[in-house]
């Protein structure tokens, strides 16, 4: 029987992409997800985990980042938990997409967050016991592809 959920822990000291990308590929293959969905899932995790590692910690210690991915019928869910500084993705500024690149005050700032918001359908954030907990949902069709496409 296909594994419908998977959990793993990374740390801010690891090369995050090499750690989680094979796990996501395997989860996608085991559950028959379309390659485009696997790409979205990989990109979303890459952007979020890179943000946590790049901007989240004031010290140089090792910190765990807990990741869970689950598939419940047509809903793909991601849960991320970290003890980095508070960061609510829902309050992060959007990139200035309508301005020419030369006129943007922050030319590429927030693009990762923008991609995440566009590739997931529901996002919820809470800060609990000194931890960021981010829940993201993506609605899939029965064929495992993005229902918006």
CA dihedral 109, 115, 116, 119 (to 10 degrees): 170
Looking up tokens 């949902």, which residue turns up? 137
Contacts of 149 (CB under 8 A, 6+ apart): 36
Min dist. Cβ of residue 35 to another protein (A):
7
Q: How far apart are CA 48 and CA 53, in angstroms?
A: 9
Contacts of 86 (CB under 8 A, 6+ apart): 127, 132
Pick 42 or 70: Cβ nearer another protein:
42
Min dist. Cβ of residue 19 to another protein (A):
11
Pick 32 or 126: Cβ nearer another protein:
32
Min dist. Cβ of residue 115 to another protein (A):
6
Residues that bind another protein (CB under 8 A): 15-18, 21, 35-36, 39, 42-43, 46-47, 50, 95, 97-98, 100-102, 107-108, 111-112, 114-115, 118-119, 149
Pick 38 or 84: Cβ nearer another protein:
38
């Amino acid at each position: 029987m296909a594994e419908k959920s998977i959990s793993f822990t990374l740390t801010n000291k690891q090369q995050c992409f090499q750690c989680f990308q094979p796990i996501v590929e395997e989860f996608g293959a085991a559950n028959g997800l379309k390659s485009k969905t696997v790409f979205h899932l990989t990109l979303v995790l890459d952007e979020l985990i890179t943000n946590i590692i790049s901007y989240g910690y004031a010290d140089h210690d090792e910190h765990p980042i807990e990741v869970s991915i689950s598939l419940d019928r047509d809903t793909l869910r991601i849960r991320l938990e970290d003890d980095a500084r508070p960061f609510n993705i829902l309050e992060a500024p959007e990139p200035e997409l309508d301005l020419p690149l030369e006129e943007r005050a922050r030319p590429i700032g927030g693009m990762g967050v923008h991609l995440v918001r566009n590739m997931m359908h529901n996002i919820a954030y809470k800060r609990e016991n000194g931890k960021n907990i981010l829940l993201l949902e993506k609605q899939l069709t029965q064929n495992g592809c993005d229902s918006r496409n």
